[in-house]
């Protein structure tokens, strides 16, 4: 059976060049980079080389890049670390209702410890208004955390504007850029962000590695205390495989960004247009323009998205719903709920996210099987009358 992977916002395949770059670290290059002897010295340089490659991808100074284990760690580090480092200033956070759980649930966790959080709403396109962020600011606001792009809709948020608002008010600004790093150009200096979180497995490095940009001068405490690694901001013997991999993935992303965005953008548009034109009662969720080029979130009305997901899977096509299956009952995704979507739409929403390795044949295969699957499910729906 043909296999098609349209779930790159969940995770991505490892790039073959990344795989060859880490090969030696599964063998002879096993040293601990903190060791003074030859085995340590041999690998030390690779850590700094990777840091330079990451820094070059986001236009930061290498000293402002800290390696972490994943995006979730980065989000936790930014939020908990900045609050713990600025307790004298206050205990208030401003964030949005559509953050990834790594941010959202970290904020919820902190509420149990007497921190206060304001969740800025989104409109029906799933966009936030920078003015709402401004209005949420209080005297005791320590941190604003707003994601760069939403993982479910692909919406791109006005990070530069929000960053300027944070600066005017002398508040630290963090952005979860996990869905953006490696996809579109990022310049942390131009954006003016204080902290930025990224995850390797979302841009063709393996799982278990991420990085955090921390602007020089930001007050932050570590999540993980211990040895002197990573400027004492993240203890633990370095994950050499991961670090080398994310360095290589950063270099590849930078070199191939233009070509990738053109190619993947073309495929996404072809898929989206094909679906809208051949399948009735379909709508796109998210902002029509301010959206990542690889993502499309489409509602198939009169359908339970899970049923369609399973049938696509039986045909070798991997996609995703944003919904969480809790205690057997599926709840529509909280992101789509926050957009106040008609339940008819939110129940039937599927996310297709494209990326490295996808081809025109993938798209055309999907377009060839999708209409009949949708029709089959709709025929079983008591609400659907054609
Ligand atoms: C995947 C993702 C994360 C979590 O990253 P992990 O490396 O899986 O922990 C955080 N934020 C966003 C927006 C994501 O898409």
In our burial notation (b when 16+ CB lie closer than 10 A, e otherwise), range 343-374 reads eebbbbbbbbbbbbebeeebbebbbebbeebb
User: Across the strands, what pairs with 172?
Assistant: 143
The DSSP element (H or E) to which 326 belongs, if any, is strand 324-326
Task: Please tell me the distance from the alpha carbon of residue 143 to that of residue 194, in angstroms, as a whole number.
Answer: 10
Q: Cα 139–141–146 angle (5° rounding)?
A: 140
Pocket lining: 353 vs ligand 1, CB cutoff 6 Å: no
Residue 184 CB neighbour total at 10 angstroms:
18
Q: Which residue has a Cα nearest atom 10 of ligand 1?
A: 71
Pocket lining: 70 vs ligand 1, CB cutoff 6 Å: yes
Pocket lining: 178 vs ligand 1, CB cutoff 6 Å: yes
Judging by beta carbons within 10 Å of its beta carbon (0-12, 13-18, 19+), is residue 213 exposed, middle or buried?
Answer: buried
The DSSP element (H or E) to which 325 belongs, if any, is strand 324-326
Give the residue numbers annotated as catalytic, written as ranges. 325
Task: Please tell me the distance from the alpha carbon of residue 160 to that of residue 177, in angstroms, as a whole number.
Answer: 13
3-state secondary structure of 173: strand
Pocket lining: 179 vs ligand 1, CB cutoff 6 Å: yes
Pocket lining: 100 vs ligand 1, CB cutoff 6 Å: yes
Residue among 8, 74, 176 to mutate when testing ligand 1 (max atoms within 8 A of CB): 176
**Which residues contact residue 109 at a Cβ distance below 8 angstroms, ignoring those fewer than 6 apart?**
none
* Long-range Cβ contact pairs of 286-290 (< 8 A, separation 24 or more): 286/125, 286/126, 286/150, 286/153, 286/154, 286/155, 287/125, 287/126, 287/127, 287/153, 287/155, 287/156, 288/125, 290/127, 290/155, 290/156
Task: Please tell me the distance from the alpha carbon of residue 46 to that of residue 37, in angstroms, as a whole number.
Answer: 15
Q: Which residue has a Cα nearest atom 4 of ligand 1?
A: 71
CA distance between the termini of the chain: 32
Segment-wise mean pLDDT, segments of 10 residues, the chain, 386 residues: 96 98 97 96 96 98 98 98 97 98 98 98 97 98 98 98 98 98 98 98 98 98 96 97 98 97 98 98 96 98 95 97 65 91 91 98 98 95 76
pLDDT of residue 381: 82
| Residues 104 and 147: beta-carbon distance below 8 Å | no
- Residue 70 CA: which ligand 1 atom is closest? 7
**What pTM, to 2 d.p., does this model score?**
0.97
pLDDT of residue 206: 98
Cα 176 to middle of ligand 1, angstroms: 8
Q: Which residue has a Cα nearest atom 6 of ligand 1?
A: 71
């Amino acid at each position: 059976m043909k296999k098609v992977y349209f779930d790159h916002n969940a995770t991505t395949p490892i790039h073959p060049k990344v795989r060859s770059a880490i090969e030696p670290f599964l063998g002879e290059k096993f040293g601990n980079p903190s060791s003074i002897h030859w085995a340590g010295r041999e690998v030390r340089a690779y850590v700094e080389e990777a840091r330079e490659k990451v820094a070059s991808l986001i236009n930061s100074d290498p000293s402002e890049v800290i390696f972490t284990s994943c995006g979730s760690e980065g989000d936790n580090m930014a939020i908990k670390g900045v609050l713990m480092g600025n307790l004298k200033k206050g205990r208030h956070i401003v964030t949005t209702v559509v953050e990834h759980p790594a941010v959202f649930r970290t904020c919820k966790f902190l509420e149990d410890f007497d921190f206060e959080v304001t969740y800025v709403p989104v409109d029906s396109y799933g966009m936030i208004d920078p003015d709402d962020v401004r209005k949420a600011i209080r005297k005791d606001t320590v941190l604003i955390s707003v994601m760069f792009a939403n993982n479910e809709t692909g919406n791109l948020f006005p990070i530069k504007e929000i960053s300027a608002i944070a600066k005017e008010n002398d508040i630290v600004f963090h952005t979860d850029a996990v869905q953006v790093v490696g996809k579109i150009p990022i310049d942390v200096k131009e954006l003016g962000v204080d902290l930025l979180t990224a995850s390797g497995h979302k841009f063709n490095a393996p799982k278990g590695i991420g990085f955090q940009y921390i602007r020089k001068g930001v007050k932050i405490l570590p999540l993980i205390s211990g040895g002197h690694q990573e400027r004492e901001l993240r203890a633990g013997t370095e994950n050499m495989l991961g670090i080398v991999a994310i360095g290589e993935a950063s270099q590849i992303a930078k070199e191939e960004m233009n070509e990738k965005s053109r190619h993947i953008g073309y495929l996404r548009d072809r898929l989206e247009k094909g679906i809208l034109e051949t399948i009735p009662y379909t709508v796109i969720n998210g902002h029509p323009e301010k959206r990542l080029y690889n993502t499309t979130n489409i509602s198939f009305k009169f359908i339970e998205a899970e049923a369609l997901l399973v049938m696509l899977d039986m045909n070798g096509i991997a996609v995703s719903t944003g919904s969480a299956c809790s205690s057997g009952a599926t709840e529509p995704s909280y992101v789509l709920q926050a957009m106040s979507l008609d339940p008819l739409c939110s129940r039937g929403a599927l996310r297709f996210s494209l990326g490295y390795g996808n081809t025109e044949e993938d798209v055309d295969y999907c377009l060839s099987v999708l209409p009949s699957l949708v029709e089959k499910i709709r025929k079983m729906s008591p609400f659907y009358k054609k």
